[in-house]
Amino acid sequence: MIQACAKQPVIELRPYQAEAVDAVYEHLRSRDDNPCVVIPTAGGKTPIMATICRDAVSKWNGRVLILAHVKELIEQAVDKLHTMAPDLWYRIGCYSAGLKSRDTEHDIIVAGIQSVYRKAAELDRFDLILVDECHMLPPNGEGMYQQFLNEAKIVNPNVRLIGLTATPYRMTSGTICGTDNLLNHVCYEVGVRELIAQGYLCPLKTKAGRRKADTSGLHIRGGEFIAGEVEALMDDDGLVHSACREIVEQTKDRCSVLIFAASVQHAQHVQRVLGEMGHECGFVCGDSSGIFRDDILRRFKEGDLKFLVNVNVLTTGFDAPNIDCVALLRPTNSPGLYYQMLGRGFRLHPDKTNCLVLDFGGNILRHGPVDALQIKDKSDRKGNTEAPAKECPNCQALIHASYSVCPDCGHEFPPPERDKHDGSASTAGVLSGEVTETDYDVGEVYYSIHTKRGAPPEHPKTLRVDYRCGFNEYHSEWICVAHPKGSYAWQKAQSWWQARSNEPMPDTVEQAVELAETGALAQPLSITVRSVTGEKFDRIINYELGSIPTAVPANSISDEPDYIWPDDDDIPF
């Protein structure tokens, strides 16, 4: 009989992994229900599982089962357990039909749920059951996991269930933890943004895009967009060509681009168009043969193949740290799927400094930044008919949330949800707080007087400036030239005016418009617009201006007598 090593090699845990293990043990000691650990994709769940397994079998003479739902996860778990706990190698078994292994006697068994859900009695007693990617668990009462757990409790009524996942929710039922669910409480959670800041995950960045296609006609079934409708919309030749051109342009300095397509036909279309552009693109789907699929994935992981398009197969269990661009060529209504797709780019690699996200599906705007997903329980999705109010960032008016344009000042709000599917990548930031700055050439500029609707006569007006930056794209700002002198808004307006004109800033908006229309202001050539993810409103932060005009000759502004500047006492505020 092979003896265990006298001294166990230490599993090196990161600080948050050690905290997660401690949280699990505290939960098991103090509560009688089942805990869940939430660790981001690529954050390292396996060291946590390995530590729990070692403690269970070495310290407490227990027995542990690890359940997973795909072959890749089973293989990874077995390999990493052997690497992290080599002294336990002879105590680790595998039960998976796909891997042609049916171990039943080991203290630690990694199993595929499809292979064992009817074999709890055959596998005998377990003290702990760990479920990797536990968001696959049904909330209650149905499915293979439930059947196995029911029988496992007959063998050992005291068996405890521990879940590990990056996404503790399901698109059809909301969060997976609940009083009556298989998992009951999140005992530990660490976020994407925190691990990026600590250097454990790869930073993400997004790029701007150009073309859009309307998806307002898509319907939802079972929590997700109907696949046939998405395919019909997405597999448009113009959209595919536009998206492929942008992918090629944006990834000139990238090495490994993983593309998520809407359907097999759509993926093959993308593969064909990229080929026509001179770029080999691999393709895998659920029907790809094992040998062919393994060869494609090997080439992609080794860097021999730059582009790889897939359909619903590389969302979980696919570990390729070299991925430095993820292109979402499909919309999804599932926040979990959205997260899992982006998670393919989280892993660190010595040859990449960040991972570029090209979102052609409006997913970032639909679900929010990946570190601040907007998740609702099923019970919250109905019956809450009271719409919230929102505050206009320009005039601070509180208005009904359904307004797309502020009725007081005309400010245009971005939509709270996006029903557009892009032929180009979204400008939205993929992490909350991410700053995106975009330069726009200015075609024309318009100046007008803005009066707040319903305001009293003495309320100061503002100078509205509209920049046309495309065929039908405008960016606006409001300059408070008539606000009280010395106020913050007035000081900003004065700086804005002095950067553009040799004329003194007028005290009324009417005079400001007249001066602007007679050429007293420098012509804006371009503007820079800043968007901050998590903030609803963009703002103009920089300008490229033409030369400042010479002073406007007297009496050239209008046929009226020269304007007489009022004394301070005459200013109405």
- 123-135 residue pLDDT tens: 999 999 999 888 8
What are the residues whose beta carbons fall under 8 Å from the beta carbon of 407, sequence distance 6 or more? Answer: 397, 399, 453
The predicted model scores a pTM of 0.66
Once rounded to an integer, what is the mean pLDDT over residues 515-521? 90
The angle formed by the CA atoms of residues 448, 453 and 454, to the nearest 5 degrees, is 145
Residue 166 near residue 46, CB atoms below 8 Å: no
**Type of residue found at 93:** G
Q: How many CB atoms lie within 10 A of CB 350?
A: 7
How far does CA 517 lie from the centroid of its chain? 44
Contacts of 386 (CB under 8 A, 6+ apart): none
Q: Which amino acid is present at 181?
A: N
Rounded mean pLDDT of 521-547? 84
| Type and span of the H or E element at 539 | strand 539-545
Cα–Cα distance, 503 to 553 (Å, whole number): 10
Dist CA 542 CA 528 (whole Å): 5
CATH 3.90.230.10 is right for the domain spanning 204-375: no
Report the sign of the C-alpha dihedral through residues 454, 456, 460, 463, in that order: positive
Say what the pLDDT of residue 94 is.
93
On the question of a common fold for 15-190 and 204-375, the answer reads yes
The CB density around residue 33, as the number of other CB atoms within 10 Å, is 15
For residue 537, pLDDT beyond 80 = no
- 469 in Cβ contact with 527 (< 8 Å): yes
Beta carbons within 8 Å of 19's beta carbon, 6+ residues apart: 188, 190
Q: Lowest mean pLDDT: which of 215-219, 337-341, 368-372?
A: 215-219
pLDDT tens profile 408-448 = 556 666 654 433 345 566 666 677 666 778 888 898 899 99
d(CA 43, CA 200): 7
The 3-state DSSP class for residue 351 equals coil
Q: pLDDT tens, 311-352?
A: 988 877 788 999 999 999 998 888 888 888 999 999 999 999
Q: Which residue has the tokens 């696959």?
A: 136
CB 514 within 8 A of CB 559: no
Place 384 in a pLDDT band, splitting at 50, 70 and 90. very low
Return the C-alpha torsion angle 297, 298, 299, 302, nearest 10.
120
pLDDT digits (tens, 9 = 90+) for 455-479: 788 888 899 998 988 756 778 888 9
Q: Give the lowest-confidence range in 99-108, 319-328, 526-535.
A: 526-535
Cα dihedral across residues 119, 123, 124, 127: positive or negative: negative
pLDDT > 90 in the chain, percent: 45
Q: CB of 260 within 8 A of CB of 337? A: no
Indicate whether 259 pLDDT > 50. yes
Residue 369 makes CB contacts below 8 A (sequence gap 6+) with 429, 430, 431, 432, 433, 434, 533, 534
User: CB of 481 within 8 A of CB of 512?
Assistant: yes
Q: Which amino acid is at 531?
A: S
Q: How confident is the model at residue 480 (pLDDT cuts 50, 70, 90)?
A: very high
Domain ranges of the chain: 15-190, 204-375, 435-554
pLDDT tens, residue by residue, 163-202? 999 888 775 567 888 888 889 999 999 989 899 989 999 9
| pLDDT tens string 278-294 | 999 999 998 888 888 88
- Looking at the domain that runs over 15-190, which CATH code has it been given? 3.40.50.300
Mean pLDDT check: name the lowest of 376-390, 428-442, 472-486, 515-529. 376-390
Dihedral over alpha carbons 144, 138, 293, 424 (to 10 degrees):
160
Spatial separation of the C-alpha atoms in residues 23 and 102, rounded to whole Å: 32
Instruction: Select the more confidently predicted residue: 456 or 533.
Output: 456
Residue positions counted in the chain: 573
Q: CA Rg, the chain, in Å? A: 30
Q: Which residues contact 23 (CB under 8 A, 6 or more apart)?
A: 35, 37, 187, 188
Find the Cα–Cα–Cα–Cα dihedral 563, 568, 569, 570, rounded to 10°: 30
Specify the range with the lowest mean pLDDT, choosing from 304-313, 446-455, 539-548.
Answer: 446-455
Apex CA 315: angle with CA 381 and CA 164, to 5°? 70
Q: How far apart are CA 88 and CA 90, in angstroms?
A: 6
Residues 402 and 419: their CA atoms lie apart, in Å, by 15
Core vs surface per residue 191-217: b (16+ CB within 10 A) or e: bbbebbeeebbbbbebbbbebbbebee
Higher pLDDT, 538 or 554: 538
Mean pLDDT of 86-113: 90
